[in-house]
């Protein structure tokens, strides 16, 4: 990485994992040992990466592109990498759909996903035991969902803000739950036929059986894989909030106290966007907030006059004085991870919206649609433009940047166009 860098690791609860890292990040922000102290601190936060190495590769690419574009005299930025134990909640390629035409492939991929995402060995074993039977056995599907409910899903109270877990995911008839998930898939696919391959679609009675199940269009193995990913989604939603409130907020307050001469901005991808939003909503001070394909509710910044009629979980970030500069939100309809997650959550919750997971849906993701429902004076709509685009970011305003022309998937947030927007938000 071209810019001076310090990592800070947090535990699942948000506690600082290594005190020496915490102190070193504060020293970097203060300019200890340097002729001139930094003027700006960029705190970067990953989302769905499984390893520190993955996260730091993302940080390096984005920070190097920001450094390459930086020409303003007197700007001396440093980077703090926020590292937390996230689990990969979406498939490679940026979609939680996934699937395969052959049942053996779908079974293997589901088993692999269990191994990759379920941290409790006993829970993983209970889920894996049902995989060979899922396509044909209602009992196996019931046992799979029961293990998911018991060992993977968090407490409903821990994730009740803005888009709580749909009640059928928590309790009720399992066969109806599978039918609702299938209908959610089909609702998305009806508007996006090109996504059929990602969804594991197959003809009725095709390879792997399942003729007579629901519409017979999607294998229960594929649907179970989605349910697993949704369980991981809510578990990571809980963890991201804990890390933001308990860990990152503590770091920001210490930076404000000991390195107050530097402007601190927060940049988060996916659930990392939720981490930094939770910190800001806790009142921790920052200059700018850059949310890159955020994996949380599109209504999270609303006041009580918004579509849901309640104050969003992160409202304080907009009007609580915590964020002094702009809040920049990238969003793209090509972000299949966020689109599928919220569209099918909506169907499970039995919301009948004109567009599942879209802006008019009570279940809609900020990474797909931007921040929705804020008072008009607080939000500005724009487009993520090419390098060289000049943005007029305003303080205490949310700036939605439609990135469909640039952002090709959930993880495509380290390009030079994104770096240009982040640089102007943080250094402008």
Q: What is the pLDDT of residue 98?
A: 43
pLDDT in tens, 60-82: 999 999 999 988 888 999 999 99
pLDDT at 145 over 70: yes
Mean pLDDT of the chain: 86
Instruction: Report the candidate in 271, 220, 258 with the shortest Cα–Cα distance to residue 89.
Output: 271
Domain ranges within the chain, ordered by starting residue: 103-235
Highest-confidence range of 49-53, 264-268, 333-337, by mean pLDDT? 264-268
Confidence of residue 195 (pLDDT cuts 50, 70, 90): low
Bridge partners of residue 402, in order along the sequence: 331, 383
Q: What is the pLDDT of residue 378?
A: 94
Q: How far is CA 69 from CA 97, 164, 168, 262, in A?
A: 36, 40, 49, 20
Q: What is the pLDDT of residue 138?
A: 95
How crowded is the C-beta side of 119, counted as CA atoms within 13 Å? 14
In order, the DSSP letters of 187-199 are: HHHHH-GGGHHHH
Q: Which of 16-20, 38-42, 166-170, 263-267 has the lowest mean pLDDT?
A: 166-170
Tell if the pTM clears 0.75, that is, is over it: yes
Q: How far is CA 344 from CA 179, 261, 311, 313, 395, in A?
A: 11, 46, 24, 22, 35
Confidence of residue 105 (pLDDT cuts 50, 70, 90): confident
Q: What is the pLDDT of residue 351?
A: 61
The pLDDT of 100-129, averaged and rounded, is 83
Q: What is the pLDDT of residue 90?
A: 67
Q: What is the dihedral of CA 174, 134, 125, 222, to 10 degrees?
A: -90
More confident residue, 321 or 140: 140
pLDDT in tens, 286-336: 999 999 999 888 999 999 888 888 888 899 888 877 899 999 999 998 888
Confidence of residue 16 (pLDDT cuts 50, 70, 90): very high
pLDDT at 208 over 70: no
Q: What is the pLDDT of residue 261?
A: 86
Beta strands in 283-346 (DSSP E): 289-292, 327-331
Confidence of residue 206 (pLDDT cuts 50, 70, 90): very low
Confidence of residue 157 (pLDDT cuts 50, 70, 90): confident
How far apart are alpha carbons 60 and 66 in whole angstroms?
10
Instruction: Report the candidate in 410, 406, 409 with the shortest Cα–Cα distance to residue 419.
Output: 406
Q: What is the pLDDT of residue 182?
A: 84
Q: Are 291 and 330 in contact (CB under 8 A)?
A: yes
How far apart are alpha carbons 95 and 337 in whole angstroms?
4
């Amino acid at each position: 990485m071209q810019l001076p860098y310090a990592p800070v690791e947090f535990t699942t609860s948000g506690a600082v994992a290594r005190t020496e890292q915490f102190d070193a990040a504060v020293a970097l922000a203060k300019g200890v040992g340097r002729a001139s102290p930094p003027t700006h601190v960029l705190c970067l936060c990953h989302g769905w990466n499984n390893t520190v190495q993955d996260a730091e590769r993302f940080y390096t690419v984005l920070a190097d592109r920001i450094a390459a574009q930086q020409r303003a005299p007197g700007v001396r930025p440093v980077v703090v990498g926020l590292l937390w134990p996230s689990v990969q909640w979406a498939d490679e390629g940026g979609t939680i759909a996934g699937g395969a035409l052959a049942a053996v492939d779908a079974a293997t991929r589901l088993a692999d996903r269990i191994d990759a995402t379920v941290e409790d060995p006993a829970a993983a074993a209970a889920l894996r035991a049902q995989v060979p039977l899922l396509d044909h056995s209602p009992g196996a599907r019931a046992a799979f969902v029961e293990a998911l409910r018991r060992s993977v899903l968090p407490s409903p109270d821990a994730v009740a803000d803005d888009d709580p877990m749909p009640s059928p995911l928590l309790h009720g008839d399992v066969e109806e739950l599978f039918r609702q998930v299938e209908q959610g898939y089909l609702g998305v696919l009806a508007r996006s036929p090109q996504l059929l391959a990602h969804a594991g679609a197959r003809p009725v009675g095709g390879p792997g059986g399942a003729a007579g199940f629901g519409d017979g269009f999607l294998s229960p193995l594929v649907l179970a894989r989605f349910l697993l990913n949704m369980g991981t989604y809510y578990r990571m939603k809980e963890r991201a909030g804990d890390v933001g409130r308990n860990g990152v907020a503590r770091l920001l307050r210490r930076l404000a106290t000991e390195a107050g001469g530097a402007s601190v901005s927060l940049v988060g991808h996916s659930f990392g966007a939720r981490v930094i939003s939770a910190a800001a909503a806790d009142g921790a001070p920052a200059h700018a907030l850059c949310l890159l394909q955020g994996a949380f509710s599109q209504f999270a910044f609303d006041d009580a006059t918004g579509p849901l009629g309640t104050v969003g979980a992160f409202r304080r970030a907009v009007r609580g004085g915590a964020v002094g500069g702009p809040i920049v939100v990238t969003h793209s309809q090509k972000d299949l991870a966020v689109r599928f997650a919220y569209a099918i959550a909506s169907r499970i919750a039995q919301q009948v919206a004109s567009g599942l997971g879209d802006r008019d849906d009570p279940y809609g993701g900020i990474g797909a649609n931007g921040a929705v429902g804020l008072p008009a004076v607080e939000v500005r709509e724009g487009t993520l433009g090419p390098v060289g685009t000049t943005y007029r970011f305003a303080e205490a305003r949310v700036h939605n940047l439609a990135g469909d022309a640039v952002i090709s998937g959930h993880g495509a947030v380290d390009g030079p166009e994104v770096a240009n927007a982040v640089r102007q938000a943080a250094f402008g």
